[in-house]
Amino acid sequence: MKRKEILEKLEKLQEITGRDDLPLQGFDLDADFNPEEYDRQMNAFFNQEYYEETDNSKPVFPYDDEIDGELEG
């Protein structure tokens, strides 16, 4: 049950990061935690290219009378 929950969280990570190429199936969920291996994997996933990606578009929000109506008067 816990394994399924962890795999779901890893899939969510793929969705959030927008990176379907993350090899999340390579994680050994039964192994002891190894901080050096963890750092290596995180550096591979979230490298300089990941942090250089920018989205310069501004978000567009729908009109909300409760919020925007207060600004008009």
Read off the pLDDT of residues 9-67 as tens digits, 9 standing for 90 and up. Answer: 877 877 777 766 666 556 676 778 888 988 887 887 777 777 777 777 888 888 888 88
Note the pLDDT of residue 72. 56
Dump the DSSP string for 5-61: HHHHHHHHHHHHHT-TT--GGG--TTSPP-HHHHHHHHHHHS-HHHHH----PPP--
12: tokens are: 């969510």
Note the pLDDT of residue 30. 74
Residue 54, classified by CB atoms within 10 Å of its CB into exposed (0-12), middle (13-18) or buried (19+), is: exposed
Question: Global pTM?
Answer: 0.38
DSSP label at residue 4: H
